[in-house]
A and B are shown apart, each in its own frame.
Chain A
Amino acid sequence: MSLGRGGRLKLDMFTHPVRKNLDHSYFDTNWALLENAIKEINNHNASRLSFEQLYRTAYQLVVDKFGHRLYAAVREAEAEYLRGVAERLDLLPSPSFLPGLKYEWERHMKSMGVIRAFLLYMERMYIPNQPQLAPLNQLGLDLWRDGVVRAPRIAPRARALLLEAVARDRGGELVDASLLKAITSMYMDLGPVVYRDDFETPFLEQTSLFYAAEAASLLQAADCPAYLAAAARRLEEERARAQAYLCPASAPRLLGAVERALIGDQLPALLDLPGTGLVPMLRARQYDDLHVLYRLAARVPGGPVLVQEALGAHLREAGKALVTDPERAKDPLAFERDVWENLVDKAFAGDRQFVYTVNRAFEAFLNLNPRSPEYISLYMDDKLRRGLKGTSEEELESALDKAILLFRFLQEKDVFERYYKQHLAKRLLQGRISSDDAGMAGKRSCLTWQPGMGTAEIKANFGGKRHELSCNTHQMVVLMLFNDSDRLTTREILAATQVPDAELRRVLQSLACVKGKNVLRKEPMSKEIGDADVFSVNDSFQSRLYKVKIGMVVAQRESDEGKEETRERVEEDRKPQIEAAIVRIMKARKQLSHNSIVSEVTRQLAVRFIPNQQVIKKRIESLIERDFMERDATDRTLYRYIA
Chain B
Amino acid sequence: MSQSDTVKLISADGFEFIISREAAYVSNTIKSMLDEQGGFMESETNQITFPGISGAVLERLCQYCYYKVKYLHTPSTAIPEFKVHRDMALDLLMAANYLDM
Contacts and interface: CB of A to CB of B under 8 A. Distances in A.
B94 interface: yes
Interface in B45-91: 48-52, 54, 64, 82, 90-91
A120 B100 CA distance: 9
Interface stretch (A40-48, A189-197, A262-270, A365-373): A40-48
Given A1-B64, A1-B101, A51 B93 contact: no
A464 interface: no
Contact of B94 (A9, A16, A52): A9
Contact of A52 (B33, B54, B92): B33
Interface centre among A11, A51, A110 (most CB of B within 10 A): A51
B96 interface: yes
Contacts of B35: 117
B3 interface: no
B52 A47 contact: no
Given A15-B51, A120-B28, A124-B100, A113 B41 contact: no
A51 B52 contact: no
Interface of B: 28-29, 32-33, 35, 37-44, 48-52, 54, 64, 82, 90-94, 96-98, 100-101
Contacts of B42: 50-52
9 contacts: A1-B92, A1-B96, A3-B97, A14-B52, A49-B41, A51-B42, A59-B98, A120-B28, A120-B100
B52 A13 contact: yes
Contact of B29 (A14, A55, A114): A55
B97 A117 contact: no
A124 B32 CA distance: 14
Contacts of A427: none
A52 B44 contact: no
A47 B40 contact: yes
Contacts of B32: 51, 55, 117-118, 120
Contacts of B48: 51-52
A52 to B, nearest CB: 5
Contacts, number: 84
B52 A49 contact: no
A6 B29 contact: no
A56 interface: yes
A11 B29 CA distance: 18
Contacts of B100: 120-121, 124
A6 B38 contact: no
Nearest to A113: B37
A9 B93 CA distance: 10
B80 to A, nearest CB: 14
Nearest to A125: B97
Given A1-B96, A3-B93, A120-B29, A50 B41 contact: yes
Given A13-B52, A59-B98, A120-B32, 16 more contacts: A3-B101, A6-B94, A11-B94, A13-B54, A16-B52, A46-B39, A47-B40, A47-B44, A49-B40, A51-B41, A52-B50, A55-B29, A55-B32, A55-B33, A114-B39, A121-B98
Interface centre among B35, B39, B50 (most CB of A within 10 A): B39
Nearest to A47: B39
Contacts of A6: 93-94, 97-98
B40 A50 contact: yes
A61 to B, nearest CB: 13
Contacts of A46: 38-40
A182 B100 CA distance: 35
Nearest to A7: B97
A321 B48 CA distance: 97
Contacts of B94: 6, 9, 11, 13-14
Nearest to B39: A46
A272 to B, nearest CB: 63
A2 B51 CA distance: 22
A2 B52 CA distance: 20
Given A13-B91, A124-B100, A51 B51 contact: no
Contacts of A56: 51-52, 98
A114 B37 contact: yes
A62 to B, nearest CB: 11
A11 B96 CA distance: 12
A110 B37 CA distance: 8
Interface in A21-54: 44, 46-52
Nearest to A11: B94
B68 to A, nearest CB: 8
B23 to A, nearest CB: 14
B59 to A, nearest CB: 15
B73 to A, nearest CB: 17
A111 B94 CA distance: 29
Interface centre among A4, A46, A55, A110 (most CB of B within 10 A): A55
A124 B97 CA distance: 11
Closest 8 CB pairs of A and B: A6-B97, A14-B52, A51-B40, A51-B33, A46-B39, A117-B32, A3-B97, A3-B96
Interface in A241-285: none
Contacts of A49: 40-41
Nearest to B31: A117
Contacts of B29: 55, 120-121
Nearest to B35: A117
A639 B87 CA distance: 107
Nearest to B97: A6
A11 B54 CA distance: 14
A207 to B, nearest CB: 39
Nearest to A15: B52
Given A9-B93, A15-B51, A51-B32, A1 B82 contact: yes
Nearest to B44: A47
A73 to B, nearest CB: 20
B24 to A, nearest CB: 13
A320 B27 CA distance: 88
B49 to A, nearest CB: 6
Interface string A108-128: 001001100110110010000
B35 to A, nearest CB: 7
Contacts of B33: 51-52, 55
